[in-house]
């Protein structure tokens, strides 16, 4: 597993305190996954389309308190990452209720030298191939804050269960795009972006937040392993 550099965290700002005040190191892994792997798989084909790259410019994230108002822990200075491989962020938090995780999308966030050239000026870049081998590139410049909010009440990070997974579901992102009926360009590549296919890009961006999900990650492996890794929160919109 490739890990992000350890981020130093400030956990102040919440004047009301917490229920316990016990410090916990949350291990939050960010990883692409698929709820429909036979149609859209990540990394290795499983009978349908396969995602070979999922680059996102996420310069920072924050854990949000139970009132959904204050960041109680944050990580900054992150660079663009290919989330087909899980990336680890460690955050110092209190064992207290929280309502959300929020992530920033910024086209100006730094990118490593091995980032694809198509990532320039974009916040999200998805590359892959359809079942017939036709390559595709989806490029979005959507910027703002993506908040992944609670779906069944507040959640906690405890010393006994410090693992969280912030998953990006490629099936949610791609299932309404009907890429199989898209026309490749002269280079044989299907391109979904503002210049080449704005209608499919709009569908992709409409699903962008909805595909972000926060799970419990009991064995801390960066995967959704079953019902024991309960869904805690889901994204709704990206706000400016």
Overall number of domains in the chain: 1
Confirm whether 2 is domain-assigned.
Answer: no
Maximum Cα–Cα distance across the chain: 61
Lookup: tokens for 53: 């790259």
Q: What is the pLDDT of residues 79-105, one digit of tens each?
A: 999 999 999 999 999 999 999 999 999
At residue 194, φ and ψ (nearest 5 deg) are -65, -30
Q: What is the dihedral of CA 23, 30, 120, 197, to 10 degrees?
A: -140
The pLDDT of residue 22: 79
Confirm whether 64 is domain-assigned.
Answer: yes
CA 175, CA 189: separation in Å to the nearest integer?
Answer: 19
pLDDT, mean of residues 60-71: 96
Q: What is the pLDDT of residues 107-130, one digit of tens each?
A: 999 999 999 999 999 999 999 999
At residue 85, φ and ψ (nearest 5 deg) are -115, 140
pLDDT, mean of residues 167-187: 98
Strand blocks (E) in the chain: 23-33, 40-42, 49-56, 60-65, 71-76, 81-82, 87-94, 98-105, 124-129, 135-140, 144-150, 163-169, 190-192, 212-216, 231-239
Confirm whether 155 is domain-assigned.
Answer: yes
pTM above 0.85, yes or no: yes
pLDDT at 218 over 70: yes
Contacts of residue 54, Cβ cutoff 8 Å, sequence gap at least 6: 32, 42, 82, 83, 84, 124, 125, 126, 127, 168, 170
**Band of the pLDDT at 132, cuts 50, 70, 90?**
very high
Confirm whether 207 is domain-assigned.
Answer: yes
pLDDT at 149 over 60: yes
Boundaries of domain holding 173: 23-239
Task: Give 8 or 186, the one with higher predicted confidence.
Answer: 186
Exposed/middle/buried for residue 51 (C-beta within 10 Å: 0-12, 13-18, 19+): buried
CB 207 within 8 A of CB 173: yes
Tell me how far the alpha carbon of residue 78 is from its chain's centroid.
Answer: 13
pLDDT, mean of residues 15-41: 82
Confirm whether 219 is domain-assigned.
Answer: yes
pLDDT at 141 over 70: yes
Confirm whether 1 is domain-assigned.
Answer: no
């Amino acid at each position: 597993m490739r890990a992000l550099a350890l981020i130093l965290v400030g956990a102040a700002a919440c004047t009301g305190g917490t229920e316990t005040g016990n410090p916990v190191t949350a291990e939050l892994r960010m990883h692409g996954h698929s709820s429909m792997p036979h149609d859209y798989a990540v990394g290795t084909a499983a009978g349908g389309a396969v995602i070979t790259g999922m680059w996102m410019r996420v310069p920072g994230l924050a854990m949000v308190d139970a009132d959904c108002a204050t960041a109680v822990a944050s990580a900054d200075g992150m660079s663009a990452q290919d989330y087909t491989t899980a990336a680890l962020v460690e955050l110092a938090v209190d064992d207290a209720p929280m309502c959300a995780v929020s992530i920033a999308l910024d086209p100006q966030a730094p990118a490593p030298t091995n980032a694809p050239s198509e990532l320039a000026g974009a916040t999200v870049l998805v590359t892959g191939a359809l079942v017939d081998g036709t390559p595709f590139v989806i490029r979005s410049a959507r910027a703002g804050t993506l908040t992944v909010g609670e779906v069944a009440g507040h959640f906690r990070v405890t010393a006994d269960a410090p693992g969280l997974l912030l998953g990006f579901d490629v099936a949610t992102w791609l299932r309404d795009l009907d890429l199989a009926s898209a026309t490749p360009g002269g280079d044989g590549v299907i391109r979904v972006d503002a210049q080449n296919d704005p209608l499919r890009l709009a569908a992709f961006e409409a699903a962008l937040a909805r595909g972000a999900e926060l799970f419990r990650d009991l064995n801390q492996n960066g995967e959704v392993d079953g019902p024991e890794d309960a869904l805690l929160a889901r994204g709704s919109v990206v706000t400016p």
